[in-house]
Chains A and B, each alone.
Chain A
Amino acid sequence: MLRLEKRPTPSRFWTAATPVLAVLLTMIAGGLLFMILGKDPFAAIRTIFWDPLFNEQFASYSRPQLLVKSGPLILIAIGLSLGFRAGIWNIGAEGQYIIGALCGAGVGLALYPMDAWFIFPLMVIAGALGGLLWAMIPALLKTHFRTNEILVSLLLVYVAEQLLASMALGLMRNPEGGGFPGSRNLQQYPSASNPELIAGTGMHWGIVAAFIAVIASYVLLNRHLLGFQIRLTGQSPRAARFAGVNPNALILFCLGTSGVLAGLAGLFEIAGPAGQVSIDFNQGYGFTAIIVAFLGRLNPIGILLAGLLMGLTYIGGDLAQFMLGLPAAAIQAFQGMLLFFLLGVDVLSNFRIRIGKTEAA
């Protein structure tokens, strides 16, 4: 019989090894799933993980996409991870992402067709403030009225989606667009666009921001008192209070930071790869970032790797749909398995598996 035995100290080896194990298990289970669907499992796995980067035919197109897809995921997940570490659950990054994009794009569209260097920086600030504003709603409701931030932040996503639709169809609609929904394309407005910085890499300012966020969050969590307080609050709230942590200030900080980063991700996306305010410009990055944050074990370096991996499955998934005719739902199930297996094997870092007779009592 198998039996779990609690480790006195969490295993460092397994903390690092479980994500790798989870990816391997996902490949196996996913391969079985694809087989049941009548596809060659090896071809499918190769199409998802290998072809986007190394296939001669597609790689030149799909390789830059890796950074484009991973950047916003990493940026949002870094913000979320701070709160998750402290036990503050911002589930509404998608909403903050949308509002950040709307505020940033709004500034750019309002100043059209002015040509000035400060327009893009102004949009960045507006995007950050938009995300902050949207995150402060659940934060202040929690600190003042003890509402549940999970519900409030989640429900605000749907409010944000309605706002987005209203903007795309109304206020921000392109006056020269012939009545079609969607704003002017910011990519064609140089002062307001977030261009590819190095041709052929997909690198834009949002990716730069993501890398800066990774480094800053690493320093914060490991070297700064605030990061220590975040970790302490997540592990034992009572000890944190004893250590002098102000729980309300921490709620405002964690939700605020994740809102700012999600808002920035939205702005960089709308001024860059997406280009225009359209009804469906948001692609669920805010929700996928939750998976990325956990897949990366709420650790900045882990999130960087997890974001790249998740970006890869997006691109590879698209490719597999296109090349092998795999249904989109199968790709989503495949991504879901990743989180499922990660949480499942997580038990190994705190428990040891013993094989032997069972213990009564």
Chain B
Amino acid sequence: MTTLLNIDGLTKAYPGVVANDNVSFSIQPGEVHALLGENGAGKSTLVKMIYGLVKPDKGRMTLHGQPYEPAEPRAARAAGVAMVFQHFSLFDALNVAENIALGMEKPPAMRDLAARIREVSENYGLPLDPSRTVGDLSAGERQRVEIIRCLLQDPKLLIMDEPTSVLTPQEVEILFKTLRKLSAEGTAILYISHKLEEIRTLCDGATILRLGKVVDSCNPREKSASELAEMMVGTKLTPPSRPEAEPGEVVLEVTNLSVKSANPFGTSLKDISFTVREGEVLGIGGVAGNGQDELLSALSGETLAPNDAVRLRGESIGHMGPNPRRHIAVLTAPEERLGHAAAPDMSLIENALLTGAIRQGLVRNGFLNWPATRIFAESIIKQFDVRTPGAGNAARSLSGGNLQKFVIGREVLQKPEVLVVNQPTWGVDASAAAAIRQSILDLAENGTAVIVISQDLDELMEISDRFAALNEGRLSPPRPARGLTMEEIGLMMGGAHDMEVAHAEA
């Protein structure tokens, strides 16, 4: 069997950082090959080079033994390389077939295309109705559109970038069946992920990247998840911990909270109820776009709720805006770091003022106390190990992990009674993620009621006392996190969302 894709010494440098340094590996036909690495390890740059989006500075690639230098994605597709991106490029207002036609150079007649979509999707166990509007599809179904768009090109190599981050465990199972079928037919798959268990169940080989370099390669089936993690991170990580403690009395109580989403394609919250106690961490899981942003803004006060739907120690606070809630120590850290939690072009000092003005007493009679604000910003930087030349630097100059530490630290240092965080470690490297999780647990240990909204189930299982899942704007009843199986978690997240699996008898 000849090698499908051989990569030899690829190097790509950006100003200030070498994204890929002399990377070499190869993929055989039909192989499911994992590209494993932390955020910022260079996985994306590497696959962008393979897909023709980025031109390497040095190094060679061969496909089927022939030199392969795609100048643009079109050339890569013509050579049989297809890619499913983490972020979908679909138009909500168009239907499935129209979306797929848009990506084709010579789209066939719509009726033929619809028939082809139906045929391919049934064949690979990803049934999809070509006439449905994309805006009405779940994240998992949208991913199917992207996958089928690729499969219609009959690719020899399919690149998948973090495909499971938008799927429930049940949906992951369906996807894996499809990928195995493809692989059995000889299509190679380059699978990018940092989820170790997935890689162990799916992949035949793995190349591990760290800081742009290949540090190891292995057969992931022969390694344990912790061995893989060590290869990926380079050091042994201590999982966050805290002493067992009995949760105290109920601090935050949400009852029958229904809020209409401000965004026409957003998810409205429907009848959400839960309580959080002193010293307790409530983990809220769910696939992206199931009401996470809406829940956070209903808790932060950015969108107002019916007054009695949200209570702090029995007092109704649903009508309070963000600043009155800060007065009573209900603090939040939104998911979007740049542009929501922080203003990109403002300095860290100004960003410290953004949420710290009230509880830190940084404003008197409307006038700002800049020296005190600087001290507050510097204490966040110091205590949360934010790497930056100084508090006067703009927020956008920080790396994702460092800015996230700043955003979380800013709220933690204000001694919240209730802290709500959305995606606390999204796009953050492992050591920063561990530090952030530990700070959340320390806060809970000191009696704060914490709500962590996240799509990272491993993270939620690690730090939550109780777990609930958002699905289409509804929240499952919270259950103790300890002892929950992946199967149960998946069902709480909505199972396979009634997505059909190919009917064998059809």
**Beyond A8-B394, A10-B394, is A235–B346 a contact (Cβ under 8 Å)?**
yes
| B345: contacting residue among A5, A10, A243, CB under 8 A | A10
- B350 near A: Cβ within 8 Å? yes
CB distance from A85 to the nearest CB of B (A): 12
A112 to B367, CA, bound (A): 44
Interface mask (A210-253 → B, CB under 8 Å = 1, otherwise 0)? 00000000000001111010011001101111111010000000
A239 and B367 form a contact (CB under 8 A) = no
The residues of B that contact A240 with a CB separation of less than 8 Å are 343
**Beyond A8-B394, A8-B397, is A244–B340 a contact (Cβ under 8 Å)?**
no
- B239 near A: Cβ within 8 Å? no
- A9 near B: Cβ within 8 Å? yes
A239 and B343 form a contact (CB under 8 A) = yes
CB distance from B267 to the nearest CB of A (A): 18
**Beyond A9-B394, A9-B397, A239-B339, is A223–B367 a contact (Cβ under 8 Å)?**
yes
The residues of B that contact A355 with a CB separation of less than 8 Å are none
Name the segment of B96-104, B320-328, B428-436, B468-476 touching the other chain.
B320-328
A224 to B363, CA, bound (A): 8
- A360 near B: Cβ within 8 Å? yes
Q: Which chain B residue has the least Cβ–Cβ distance from A361? A: B54
B363 and A225 form a contact (CB under 8 A) = yes
B340 and A242 form a contact (CB under 8 A) = yes
Name the segment of B85-93, B109-117, B133-141, B351-359 touching the other chain.
B351-359
A235 and B345 form a contact (CB under 8 A) = yes
A232 to B322, CA, bound (A): 15
**Beyond A226-B366, A243-B354, is A361–B55 a contact (Cβ under 8 Å)?**
yes
CB distance from B158 to the nearest CB of A (A): 22
Interface mask (A332-361 → B, CB under 8 Å = 1, otherwise 0)? 000000000000000000000000000011
Interface mask (A1-44 → B, CB under 8 Å = 1, otherwise 0)? 00001001110000000000000000000000000000000000
**Beyond A8-B396, A223-B368, A224-B368, is A239–B342 a contact (Cβ under 8 Å)?**
yes
The residues of A that contact B413 with a CB separation of less than 8 Å are none
Q: Which chain B residue has the least Cβ–Cβ distance from A232? A: B343
CB distance from A34 to the nearest CB of B (A): 39
B323 and A244 form a contact (CB under 8 A) = yes
CB distance from B339 to the nearest CB of A (A): 5
The residues of A that contact B394 with a CB separation of less than 8 Å are 8-10
B322 and A235 form a contact (CB under 8 A) = no
Q: Which chain B residue has the least Cβ–Cβ distance from A227? A: B368
A204 to B142, CA, bound (A): 67
- Total interface residues in chain A, CB < 8 Å: 23
Q: Which of A139-179 contact B (CB under 8 A)?
A: none
The residues of A that contact B227 with a CB separation of less than 8 Å are none
A339 to B301, CA, bound (A): 42
A240 to B367, CA, bound (A): 18
A226 to B357, CA, bound (A): 12
A238 and B339 form a contact (CB under 8 A) = yes
| B346: contacting residue among A226, A232, A246, CB under 8 A | A232
Kindly count the residue-residue contacts between A and B in the assembled complex, taking CB atoms under 8 Å apart: 78
The residues of B that contact A236 with a CB separation of less than 8 Å are 338-340, 343-344
| B354: contacting residue among A5, A8, A239, CB under 8 A | A239
| A238: contacting residue among B53, B54, B336, B370, CB under 8 A | B336
A239 to B410, CA, bound (A): 14
A239 and B345 form a contact (CB under 8 A) = no
**Beyond A225-B366, A232-B354, A242-B334, is A9–B322 a contact (Cβ under 8 Å)?**
no
The residues of B that contact A235 with a CB separation of less than 8 Å are 343-346
- B28 near A: Cβ within 8 Å? no
A228 and B353 form a contact (CB under 8 A) = yes
- B341 near A: Cβ within 8 Å? yes
Q: Which chain A residue has the least Cβ–Cβ distance from B49? A: A361
- B483 near A: Cβ within 8 Å? no
A360 to B350, CA, bound (A): 37
| B367: contacting residue among A224, A232, A241, A361, CB under 8 A | A224
**Beyond A9-B394, A238-B339, A242-B334, is A224–B366 a contact (Cβ under 8 Å)?**
yes
A244 and B55 form a contact (CB under 8 A) = no
CB distance from B266 to the nearest CB of A (A): 14
A8 to B301, CA, bound (A): 32
A228 and B350 form a contact (CB under 8 A) = yes
B367 and A242 form a contact (CB under 8 A) = no
| B322: contacting residue among A224, A226, A242, CB under 8 A | A242
A225 and B342 form a contact (CB under 8 A) = no
A326 to B355, CA, bound (A): 56
A243 to B54, CA, bound (A): 38
A308 to B3, CA, bound (A): 72
The residues of A that contact B396 with a CB separation of less than 8 Å are 8-9
The residues of B that contact A226 with a CB separation of less than 8 Å are 366
The residues of A that contact B264 with a CB separation of less than 8 Å are none
Q: Which chain A residue has the least Cβ–Cβ distance from B370? A: A223
- B439 near A: Cβ within 8 Å? no
B357 and A225 form a contact (CB under 8 A) = yes
The residues of A that contact B343 with a CB separation of less than 8 Å are 232, 235-236, 239-240
B367 and A243 form a contact (CB under 8 A) = no
* Residue from the set B323, B326, B354, B393 with the largest chain A CB neighbour count within 10 Å: B354
B366 and A244 form a contact (CB under 8 A) = no
CB distance from B97 to the nearest CB of A (A): 31
The residues of A that contact B397 with a CB separation of less than 8 Å are 8-9
A9 and B368 form a contact (CB under 8 A) = no
B322 and A244 form a contact (CB under 8 A) = yes
Q: Which chain B residue has the least Cβ–Cβ distance from A350? A: B345
A21 to B306, CA, bound (A): 56
Q: Which of A35-92 contact B (CB under 8 A)?
A: none
**Beyond A228-B350, A232-B346, A361-B54, is A242–B341 a contact (Cβ under 8 Å)?**
yes
A242 to B354, CA, bound (A): 8
The residues of A that contact B370 with a CB separation of less than 8 Å are 223
A228 and B368 form a contact (CB under 8 A) = yes
A236 to B394, CA, bound (A): 14
Q: Which chain A residue has the least Cβ–Cβ distance from B15? A: A5
The residues of A that contact B363 with a CB separation of less than 8 Å are 225
Given contacts A9-B394, A361-B53, 19 further A-B contacts (CB under 8 A): A8-B393, A9-B393, A9-B397, A10-B394, A224-B368, A228-B350, A231-B346, A232-B343, A232-B350, A235-B344, A235-B346, A238-B339, A239-B342, A241-B322, A242-B334, A242-B355, A243-B323, A244-B322, A360-B55
26 contacts between A and B (CB under 8 A): A8-B397, A9-B396, A9-B397, A10-B345, A223-B368, A223-B370, A226-B366, A232-B346, A235-B345, A235-B346, A236-B338, A236-B339, A236-B340, A236-B343, A236-B344, A238-B340, A239-B340, A242-B334, A242-B340, A242-B341, A242-B354, A243-B323, A243-B354, A243-B357, A246-B321, A361-B54
Interface residues of B (CB under 8 A from A): 15, 48, 53-55, 300-302, 321-323, 326, 332, 334, 336, 338-346, 350, 353-355, 357, 363, 366-368, 370, 393-394, 396-397
Interface residues of A (CB under 8 A from B): 5, 8-10, 223-226, 228, 231-232, 235-236, 238-244, 246, 360-361
